[in-house]
Amino acid sequence: MEGDSCKPDVKTYAPLLKMCCRRKSIKLLKFLLSHMFKNNVSVDLGTYTLLVNELCMNGKLELACFYFQEAVLKGMVPMVKTFKALVEELEQKNMKEMKEKIEKLMFQARERNLA
């Protein structure tokens, strides 16, 4: 794409990010996210949702939590469905401390949005 002067956007990266999550190719996932940043392609709420959901489904809970937190800290509050899926997985894997951290973060984000 770059060779043809075609600028990739967030929609261009989405299928690649999804594939990396499903194949648990974390190094490639991080490379693509870095590449997005270098090309001034902003990660939007849809991309964070994709990352959290796919990583959660594929057993990469710590990384899913990282991207969930990053989204919230950037002011993008994930949908309740995404939050519940993550919390349920954390509960199943007995990751109580991380579950509580995510719940607190979501509660604070909702409070900010209501203010």
Mean pLDDT per 10-residue interval, the chain, length 115 residues: 72 92 93 91 93 93 96 91 96 96 92 72
pLDDT at 7: 79
How far is 12 from 22, CA to CA, in rounded Å? 17
Instruction: Using the structure block, give the residue that is written with the tokens 């090309």.
Output: 39
How many domains in the chain? 1
Q: Which domain holds residue 50?
A: 2-114
Query: Please, which residues have CB within 8 angstroms of residue 20's CB and are 6 or more apart in sequence?
Result: 26, 28, 29, 32
- The number of residues making up the chain comes to 115
Question: Which helix H or strand E contains 81, and what residues bound it?
Answer: helix 80-92
Q: Which two tokens stand for residue 82?
A: 């995404």
How far is 57 from 100, CA to CA, in rounded Å? 20
